[in-house]
Structure 1
Amino acid sequence: MAADNGDGGSGLSKPAASRPYSRAGRNVPRADADGSRGEYPTMETAATRSPRSPGTPGHWYRFLVAHLAAIVLITLGVTAGAALLAWSQTREYLSTADVVIYPAPSLASSTAQTPDMGTEQAIASSYAVVAIASRSVHLPVSTLQKGLSVSAPASTYVLAISYKDPNRYLARRVAQSLAQAYVTFRTPHRGAAGSASTSQPIGGVQAALITPASLPNAPSSPDRLLDVGVGLIVGLVLGTGVAFLRDWMDDRLRGPADLEGQAGAPVLAVIPAFRRDHGDAAGQLVVVGYPDSKPADAYRNLRTRVLLAAAGCDARTLLVASPAREERATVAANLAAALALSGRRAILVCADLRSGTLHELFSARNDVGLSSNLLGTAELSDAIQQTDVPGLTLLTAGPAAADLAGQAQALPKLLQQMQHLADYIVIEAPAVLSSADASALAELAEMVLLVADARQSTRAQVRAAAHELEQAPAVLIGCVLDNLGRRQRLPRAQASHPGAGATAATGPRRNTSAANGKAPQVRRSSNPQPAQARRATVSADGESDPREDR
């Protein structure tokens, strides 16, 4: 809390001991009233963990969820291509005849010569042998050589002479002819004079057909099941590789743990994605229009954790910032409404003087606002507006695009005035990376809440925004990951509970605008009276109770 200046006002300067949370999430020592040293409770962060590391909890699950579609599509595409190629190829039949080779007795020596199977394979597929078969089947030698294959099983003297052809009958006939041609080529022949002497076989070996060629019953190629299986494996490997490459090149956030690691601050809330109709303000203020929805629960949890942080560092002014064009206005509006619905007085300030949209969420006028007060054309009492949410007042951006960075005197004075009117001040800042006004506001605020969009924000943007905010004295209490998961349509507009948690002084009031699915309306306050500043303590269950007025 800001120090009392003696006349009931509150200055903006804060002692160094009022900042309990370091950016790395460690406990920061504080000095108690009795001079003893203590520590504020802090929230554990994932700043020391790398969200890309396979050891990070849930890493592979998030990886599969993010890239499952790409992996499946690539796998199916490659598999379909392999199947198409396999079915487009001509079926061919293979017929084989076996020929045994044995040493021929030599007249000059009683020692038989061992056949060289490599040489015999070359001879069986040579032009001389194929030409003999060509004359019997009446096919060109080149055609026979294309379908011919000769193999020799290990540790045997057997040649397997095979022929492949789309016609299975022709395949058997040619294989048989090629085997016979080789046997003929290797068979000794009588001399021309018909003498009893026998010519020696070439190489000292002889051949005999032991297994004739058989009629094949099934095609030998293509093996369609094998081709499809190989395509499936190749597609899966290729798809996974592409997914890893995309994951390495994609700089978007991977989830809450990734946001914590990049910002160096805990994630205080994760807001589920829901369909946002910018023409329906009730669809943006979910804590008012849809109090029983999951996004509303997330904002109430955010409120509780912000109150915990505020109680720890004795702060009342919260700056809601974001790196670029995230929905920080929606987050700030719902957080301020949640604070007001819990019985606290809150002022919601739109400090985005160039593109602020808070007035649209409340269907408020924007002819007078923050810029009007800073330029001296309107008093705070003329610029501030009351909303239908009990305890929530609104200060819109105003019509003029004033330079916040140049209002070194007016801004602190304005914040002092607003601290007399409310328990908490929630300020929507412009984009940190595109406006110097965010840094100027961070110099005056006591707490900063960084909003990131799960679909748009990048790691580089979050790191740059966190680094920029670190230069200011305000405490970065945490982050909000907005728009996470698949977008879901909210249920029909429900009756809100604006009086829940309200004090007896305010009393419960029914928000008829929210009950009808409309945006909460605002009323121009003709003469707002300063209320005594009330602080909040946090109960054991996480909800906060108003303290006694000071």
Structure 2
Amino acid sequence: MNMHSLNRSPSDPSRSLPSFPEVTSVGVQDGPLAVISAALKAARRHRYAVAAWVIFCIGCAALYVATTASSYTATAVLLLEPRRPAGSGSEGALAPSLDVGRAESELQVLRSERLLANVFNSLQLANNPEFGPETSEKSEAPTPDPKGLPGQQTTQPPDSVILEQRKFENFSDRFTVRRVGQSYVVEVSYTSKDPTLARRVANAAVSAYLWQSIAAKADAAKNGAEFLQGRVNALSSQARAAATAVSEGTLPATPTPDADARVIGAALQPLKPSAPRKALILGLGATIGVVGGLLAVALLQALDRRVRTPQDLVQRAGIPCLAVMPEVSRKTANGRREPVDLRNAAAPWLLDVRFAAGIRDLRTSIQLALASRGQDAECVIALVGCTRHSGTTLIGLSLARLLQEGGGTARLIDTNIHNTTSPLLAGNFDADSASLAELINNPGRIASAKLHDFGGVSVLPARSPYKPVSSGAFLGSPAFQSVIDHMRRGGYVILDLPPLSTSAESRVAARRADVVVIVAEAGRATVDDLLDVTNGLIGVGANVIGAILNRA
């Protein structure tokens, strides 16, 4: 097994990935499916945050809908239909045609300021509060311009004129004229907070257009050579009817055949508001919430360097995943959950079914690695935490118990001799039991050393709670190798090593093990931590076979 060959990481060229023959791409998704799968897993992991964001967006949309005043749109439909003027010739003469350019010109007539001003004045909308405050009849006197030449004064428009102009602009901004496709049908719409006003303005605009067309023909008839009194009277009657309809906000009461247009749909009073579109706004809020939440999750996933899944170990760190351990906890009397007592590790299957399955997977992976080297017993297994409190002690005790259940002998050595709060010192510690620090300082006691019984597992604590640790205790000393050689006779030895970040002696101790397993805590250990630990161990010649994803 070539443990020293290194590959460059495509995501971080400054770091190197260790090469493990056990790593294989079979069964590992890649490409767009892997991205989608990772995004969905991240969304499930942050489901509460995404749900809260979606609810917030929908709430903002609902608040906007609730606080926005409703508006109504009334639409009148007009058909442009030019007629042949009277006295234009024989019956077979063709009627004037209406081309595309003429139709667009008529649309501009409907949008013209002259027509809209006629509607605005005829309906007396200057004092309508919807377009602004009422116009004061008293106007201020002209004020001199300080920038003007001496002896000269320039006048500014009175405030009432400016205010009325702003009202007219507010009125015209709500007016819409639209041609239906390529036809000669024109929709004249007006939007207002008052549905009655919307209907009156739309109908008045159509009537104003008819009145302008008829008035122009009446003027032409009066000045033309074909002047006929009857014709003039008919046009005048139609013009008066159209003008009256403009002032009343309705359509002409009498037909207007000479208007070159025909009303095919009067503006009806709206029965429901046209804005805000509540369903559309709420749907847009929900869409923004979902899409924004997923984008945020995808961004966090891209920036997140923490290891959470076995795929992260293989794809991002290049380390085989030997086993996946769940979080093991127990309920207390008050319903809270707290870490399980280490003494329960004497029976790992009693902790959690998935935890027991992970321990069995770990045992199988270790045995396969030993078999490839021609070993199956009397071997040393080292567990190195990637970060502090990675759970190496619980895993080591459970593995030792499982190996003993298989008919072998297993002993656990706690090597963290500088830790004063070791969990293995809890309970009734026998004062006659030896400790690793004492055996390193006094190698003559190794043969007669009494191990500590911890829940059915023979344990050599790192230190005694009753005696201080000498400064000469060092894992790199030959005495530590003598302790390992003595304990490995006839069985397995499991070394519980502290993280490399807290003790550089773990590198020296890892070299004395036949196989080294890294323990990474899911959601806490990062890819950089894993690379640092793995490359640090491989750099000193340790036989790293893979990693465990703990508390997944």
TM-score, length-normalised on structure 2? 0.70
Which of 282, 287, 298 is matched with 2:345 structurally? 287
Bigger shift: residues 73-82 or 457-466: 73-82
Segments of 5+ residues of structure 1 without an aligned counterpart are 1-19, 25-41, 485-550
Contact preservation (8 Å) 2:345, 2:455: no
**Aligned partners of 2:472, 2:79: CA distance in 1, in Å?**
100
Structure 2 counterpart of 1:319, which letter?
A
Contact preservation (8 Å) 2:328, 2:339: no
More helix by share: 2
State, as a whole percentage, how many aligned pairs show the same letter: 22
Instruction: Indicate the structure (1 or 2) with the bigger Cα radius of gyration.
Output: 2
TM-score, length-normalised on structure 1? 0.70
Which of 473, 493, 497 is matched with 1:425 structurally? 493
Deviation at 1:180, TM superposition (A): 0.9
- Equivalent in the alignment of 2:463: 397
Question: Are residue 69 (structure 1) and residue 48 (structure 2) matched?
Answer: yes
**Aligned partners of 2:29, 2:4: CA distance in 1, in Å?**
18
**Pair 231,168 (structure 1): closer, same or farther in 2 beyond 3 Å:** same
1:249-268 equivalences in 2 (<5 Å)? 249-262=303-316, 264-268=318-322
Bigger shift: residues 134-143 or 220-229: 134-143
**Pair 138,453 (structure 1): closer, same or farther in 2 beyond 3 Å:** same
**Pair 395,234 (structure 1): closer, same or farther in 2 beyond 3 Å:** closer
- Equivalent in the alignment of 1:359: 424
Deviation at 1:427, TM superposition (A): 0.8
Structure 2 counterpart of 1:217, which letter?
L
SS in 2 for 1:473: coil
Bigger shift: residues 289-298 or 157-166: 289-298
Structure 1 counterpart of 2:429, which letter?
A
Contact preservation (8 Å) 1:405, 1:436: no
1:526-541 equivalences in 2 (<5 Å)? none
**Aligned partners of 1:153, 1:241: CA distance in 2, in Å?**
40
1:260-409 equivalences in 2 (<5 Å)? 260-262=314-316, 264-275=318-329, 283-288=341-346, 291-292=349-350, 293-294=352-353, 295-313=355-373, 314=375, 316-325=379-388, 326-355=390-419, 357-360=422-425, 363-364=428-429, 369-376=435-442, 379-380=445-446, 384-387=450-453, 389-390=455-456, 392-398=458-464, 399-400=468-469, 402=471, 407-409=476-478
Deviation at 1:112, TM superposition (A): 5.5
SS in 1 for 2:345: helix
Contact preservation (8 Å) 1:403, 1:437: no
**Pair 483,372 (structure 1): closer, same or farther in 2 beyond 3 Å:** same
Contact preservation (8 Å) 1:82, 1:227: yes
**Aligned partners of 1:465, 1:51: CA distance in 2, in Å?**
26
- Equivalent in the alignment of 2:208: 181
**Pair 192,260 (structure 1): closer, same or farther in 2 beyond 3 Å:** closer
Question: Are residue 90 (structure 1) and residue 69 (structure 2) matched?
Answer: yes
Deviation at 1:437, TM superposition (A): 0.8
**Aligned partners of 2:321, 2:264: CA distance in 1, in Å?**
80
Bigger shift: residues 53-62 or 406-415: 53-62
Structure 2 counterpart of 1:186, which letter?
S
1:181-220 equivalences in 2 (<5 Å)? 181-187=208-214, 188-191=216-219, 206-220=260-274
Structure 1 counterpart of 2:543, which letter?
V
Question: Are residue 117 (structure 1) and residue 103 (structure 2) matched?
Answer: yes
SS in 2 for 1:80: helix
- Equivalent in the alignment of 1:164: 191
Give CA-to-partner distance per residue, 1:376-431, whole Å, 9 cap, x none: 398335764231655624233344275766743322233223334x5111111110
The number of aligned residues is 445
SS in 1 for 2:322: strand
Deviation at 1:316, TM superposition (A): 0.8
Structure 2 counterpart of 1:332, which letter?
G
What is the root-mean-square deviation of aligned Cα atoms in Å? 3.8
Question: Are residue 451 (structure 1) and residue 478 (structure 2) matched?
Answer: no
Which of 19, 30, 45 is matched with 2:23 structurally? 45
SS in 2 for 1:116: helix
**Pair 411,205 (structure 1): closer, same or farther in 2 beyond 3 Å:** same
Give CA-to-partner distance per residue, 1:229-273, whole Å, 9 cap, x none: 222222222111111101101111131232234554432322111
Deviation at 1:280, TM superposition (A): 8.7
- Equivalent in the alignment of 1:516: none
SS in 1 for 2:358: helix
SS in 2 for 1:272: coil
**Aligned partners of 2:198, 2:470: CA distance in 1, in Å?**
89
Which of 391, 397, 414 is matched with 2:483 structurally? 414
Deviation at 1:304, TM superposition (A): 4.2
**Aligned partners of 1:454, 1:233: CA distance in 2, in Å?**
32
SS in 1 for 2:551: strand
1:25-36 equivalences in 2 (<5 Å)? none
Give CA-to-partner distance per residue, 1:439-492, whole Å, 9 cap, x none: 1112222211111111311111112211111123332233221111xxxxxxxx
Which of 37, 57, 79 is matched with 1:100 structurally? 79
Deviation at 1:171, TM superposition (A): 1.2
Bigger shift: residues 125-134 or 360-369: 360-369
**Pair 411,51 (structure 1): closer, same or farther in 2 beyond 3 Å:** farther
Segments of 5+ residues of structure 2 without an aligned counterpart are 6-19, 127-167, 236-257
Bigger shift: residues 124-133 or 334-343: 334-343
**Pair 311,276 (structure 1): closer, same or farther in 2 beyond 3 Å:** farther
